[in-house]
């Protein structure tokens, strides 16, 4: 919404506790995305929308379903060591016996304290401006029973018209992004992306053709329709 109005948008949310602080093993911080959008002179905005953990639970569920190990460094166990068994990780995350590592990884060697710092920034911006809930208050349970929990979000919009004008901003921003994409590739890589570019490409493909749905999911959709007796034909049935 901000970039469509020629503005810089900055937003984030706290979430169910998942990330362990640097030198800690307890799931304390949400995956806390710190999200920034810029208007550009291109067909799509710059849009960085990412968790401040290395990964989130959904990706580990994907590894588990594919029968793959989780790469070492994404998840820390109670013993302080990286965990890689995807099924075990999912169980231990639920039980509070494992936690996600912040961007930068476990410990301080590759600067995990920076990801931990940015996750903390998002936790504070999401909670402290509205005297809201934070950290373990977002566990979704009271006395072991499921309970509603109150996330906080924050939204910031900066009007580029108030500086050198929206056109000037769009142009400089676009040029930075084009120069990054045109820079020298690593051997074996044929493309450098900027944030939001892959998502835009996927959107261009799917906005007319729809989202590809695997056979197993197709069957679930059909079963659900039949269960509820809905008068609906799915595009994949045609």
The answer to whether 163 and 157 are in contact (CB under 8 A) is no
Q: How far is the CB of 136 from its own copies (least distance, A)?
A: 7
- Closest to its own copies by CB, 185 vs 206, is 185
- Closest to its own copies by CB, 20 vs 64, is 20
- Looking at the DSSP assignment, which residues form a beta bridge with residue 113? none
Question: In the Cβ-directed half-sphere of 89, how many Cα atoms lie within 13 Å?
Answer: 31
Q: How far is the CB of 83 from its own copies (least distance, A)?
A: 13
Q: How far is the CB of 213 from its own copies (least distance, A)?
A: 26
The answer to whether 46 and 195 are in contact (CB under 8 A) is yes
Q: How far is the CB of 205 from its own copies (least distance, A)?
A: 20
Which residues are within 8 A (CB) of 219 and not within 5 positions of it... i.e. 6 or more apart? none
- Closest to its own copies by CB, 90 vs 103, is 103
Cα–Cα distance, 153 to 149 (Å, whole number): 13
Cα–Cα distance, 163 to 149 (Å, whole number): 40
Q: How far is the CB of 146 from its own copies (least distance, A)?
A: 22
- Closest to its own copies by CB, 142 vs 192, is 192
- Closest to its own copies by CB, 155 vs 232, is 155
Report helix, strand or coil for 46: strand
- Closest to its own copies by CB, 133 vs 225, is 133
Q: How far is the CB of 135 from its own copies (least distance, A)?
A: 5
Cα–Cα distance, 15 to 151 (Å, whole number): 6
The CA distances from residue 33 to 49, 93, 118, 233, in Å, are 7, 19, 9, 37
Cα–Cα distance, 11 to 15 (Å, whole number): 14
């Amino acid at each position: 919404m901000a970039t469509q109005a020629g503005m810089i948008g900055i937003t984030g949310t706290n979430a169910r506790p998942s990330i362990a602080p640097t030198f800690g093993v307890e799931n304390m911080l949400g995956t806390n995305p710190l999200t920034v959008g810029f208007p550009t002179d291109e067909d799509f905005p710059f849009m960085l929308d990412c968790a401040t953990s290395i990964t989130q639970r959904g990706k580990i569920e994907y590894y588990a379903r594919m029968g793959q190990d989780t790469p070492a460094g994404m998840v820390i166990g109670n013993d302080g060591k990286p965990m890689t068994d995807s099924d075990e990780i999912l169980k231990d995350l639920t039980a509070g016996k494992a936690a996600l590592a912040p961007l930068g990884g476990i410990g301080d060697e590759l600067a995990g304290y920076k990801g931990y710092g940015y996750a903390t920034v998002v936790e504070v911006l999401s909670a402290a401006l509205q005297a809201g809930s934070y950290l373990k208050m977002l566990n979704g349970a009271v006395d072991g029973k499921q309970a509603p929990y109150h996330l906080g979000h924050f939204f910031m919009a900066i009007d580029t018209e108030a500086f050198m004008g929206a056109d000037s901003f769009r142009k400089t921003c676009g040029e930075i992004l084009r120069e990054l994409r045109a820079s020298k590739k690593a051997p074996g890589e044929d493309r450098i992306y900027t944030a939001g570019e892959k998502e835009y490409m996927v959107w261009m493909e799917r906005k007319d053709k729809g989202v590809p749905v695997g056979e197993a999911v197709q069957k679930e959709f059909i079963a659900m329709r039949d269960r509820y007796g809905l008068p609906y034909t799915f595009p994949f049935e045609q």
